[in-house]
């Protein structure tokens, strides 16, 4: 078998929609990262997504909708959810909501929870595909569980290859970080995973501060046999301490590279490593840094270095989401 990767065109998007309608798996670009999509209403297809990613069964999937598709048939869209969706959809915000009565989404996609995660992506290829197929599409990031997320089609080729029926190449993902996950299934809205939409932006719409849930420090994404995981801990497995990890260890807050280290810099005139150096944003632009983060970690991970040293990133706006991913990538592995 060969890896099936094609440029995203009207024809290939139509072919991808046919594949999805038949229960196939299609990787496609979104404004955040590449997603591994399948029909969210079929338990078997959702099971294939879990298998392709090696994802623990307790980690639920995000369901993607085209603009115009009725979210209220899937989840309970109260006034607060409608207000948030009106402001941030389409876009990089995922809402965790109570499943509606008669919700058509596979129970496996919710991983046994009584909630469902919904997003309406803004990327033109993702939208064209969702509009064509007109079924809710479960699409976690198109990478093996726990590894770096893919922001280019070739990352998906390298990471998942033949496990995907078709990869739509739509170039680099403009955002480069996963969506913000906002839990609206509880009275006090809280962020389960920081992302491109910031806590400040959400608080402005809610008219109240929004809490950011902390990572479950003792947990890993591998779900070892016999591990006891409480309901609260699995509320959002994106909160697992070790996640988004390159193969090489990371050293955070580094001012310069030590011998044998690759260097991931941020800002003007950084020191360089003789082995490999990349700068997330020479002008110190956090949006540019977020877009480059995973692609640069993929590249430095392929270098000769034994460790990737990373310069400090300011904890402002999207910087909070960048630091969240870096901390998880640096966390002790199972």
Binding site residues, ligand AMP, CB under 6 A: 59-62, 96, 110, 113, 115-117, 140-141, 178, 181, 192-193, 235-238
Q: How far apart are CA 41 and CA 138, in angstroms?
A: 8
Beginning with the edge strand found earlier in the chain, give each strand of the sheet holding 277-279 in spatial order: 250-251, 307-310, 261-265, 277-279
Query: Applying CB under 5 A, what is the total number of residues that bind Mg ion?
Result: 1
Q: Is 59 in the site for Mg ion (CB under 5 A)?
A: no
Whose Cβ is closer to Mg ion: residue 17's or residue 139's?
A: 139
- Residue 329 near which of Mg ion, ligand AMP, none (CB within 5-8 Å, type-dependent): none
Name the binder of 325 from ligand AMP, Mg ion, none, CB < 5-8 A by kind. none
C-beta closer to ligand AMP: residue 216 or 254: 216
Residue number, nearest CB to ligand AMP = 238
Parallel, antiparallel, or unpaired: how do β-strands 62-64 and 93-98 relate? unpaired
Q: Strand 211-212 to strand 190-193: parallel, antiparallel, or no bridges (unpaired)? A: parallel
Q: Does the footprint of Mg ion cover residue 30 (CB under 5 A)?
A: no
CA atoms within 13 A on the CB side of 258: 9
Closest contact distance (angstroms) between CB of 95 and ligand AMP is 10
Cβ distance to ligand AMP smaller for residue 11 or 188: 188
Of the two residues 137 and 276, which places its CB atom closer to Mg ion in the complex?
137
Is the torsion defined by CA of 156, 222, 216, 74 positive or negative? positive
Q: How far is the CB of 228 from Mg ion (least distance, A)?
A: 23
Under the criterion CB under 5 A, does residue 141 sit at the interface with Mg ion? Answer: yes
Q: Pick from ligand AMP, Mg ion, none: which does 41 bind, CB < 5 to 8 A by kind?
A: none
**Angstrom distance (rounded) from CA 98 to CA 172:** 33
- CB-side neighbour CA atoms (13 Å) of 200: 8
**CB neighbours of 9 closer than 8 A, spacing ≥ 6?**
none
Q: Does 94 sit near Mg ion (CB under 5 A)?
A: no
Instruction: Answer yes or no whether residue 236 interacts with Mg ion by CB under 5 A.
Output: no
The residue (of 153 and 265) whose beta carbon lies closer to ligand AMP is 153
Measuring CA to CA, how many Å separate 94 from each of 97, 140, 173, 281?
10, 12, 17, 27
Burial letters for 132-159: b for 16+ Cβ neighbours within 10 Å, e otherwise? bbebbbbbbbbbebbbbbbbbbebbbeb
Q: How far apart are CA 151 and CA 31, in angstroms?
A: 9
Q: Name the minimum Å distance from CB 245 to Mg ion.
A: 11
From ligand AMP, Mg ion, none, interface partner of 215 (C-beta below 5 to 8 A by class): none
Residues that bind Mg ion (CB under 5 A): 141
């Amino acid at each position: 078998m060969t890896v099936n990767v094609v440029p995203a065109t009207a024809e290939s998007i139509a072919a991808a929609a046919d594949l999805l309608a038949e229960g196939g798996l299609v990787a496609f670009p979104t404004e955040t990262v590449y997603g591994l999509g399948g029909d969210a209403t079929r338990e078997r297809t959702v099971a294939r997504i879990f298998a392709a990613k090696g994802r623990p069964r307790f980690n639920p999937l995000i369901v993607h909708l085209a603009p115009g598709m009725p979210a209220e048939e899937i989840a309970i869209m109260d006034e607060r959810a409608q207000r948030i969706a009106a402001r941030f959809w389409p876009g990089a915000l995922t809402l965790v909501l109570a499943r509606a009565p008669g919700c058509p989404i596979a129970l496996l996609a919710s991983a046994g929870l009584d909630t469902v995660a919904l997003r309406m992506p803004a990327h033109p290829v993702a939208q064209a595909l969702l509009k064509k197929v007109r079924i809710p599409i479960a699409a976690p990031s198109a990478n093996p569980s726990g590894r770096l997320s893919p922001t280019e089609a070739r990352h998906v080729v390298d990471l998942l290859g033949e496990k995907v029926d078709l990869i739509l190449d739509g170039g680099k993902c403009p955002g480069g970080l996963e969506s913000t996950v906002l839990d609206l299934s509880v009275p006090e809205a809280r962020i389960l995973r920081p992302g491109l939409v910031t806590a400040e932006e959400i608080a402005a719409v809610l008219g109240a501060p929004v809490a950011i849930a902390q990572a479950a420090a003792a947990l890993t994404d591998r779900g070892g046999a016999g591990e006891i995981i409480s309901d609260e801990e699995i509320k959002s497995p994106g909160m697992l301490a070790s996640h988004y990890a390159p193969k090489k260890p990371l050293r955070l807050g580094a001012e310069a590279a030590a011998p044998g280290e690759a260097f991931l810099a941020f800002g003007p005139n950084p020191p360089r490593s003789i082995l490999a150096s990349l700068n997330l944003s020479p002008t110190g632009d956090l949006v540019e840094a977020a877009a480059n983060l995973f692609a640069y970690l993929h590249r430095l991970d392929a270098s000769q270095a034994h460790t990737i040293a990373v310069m400090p990133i300011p904890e402002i706006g999207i910087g909070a989401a960048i630091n969240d991913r870096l901390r998880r990538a640096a966390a002790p592995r199972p």
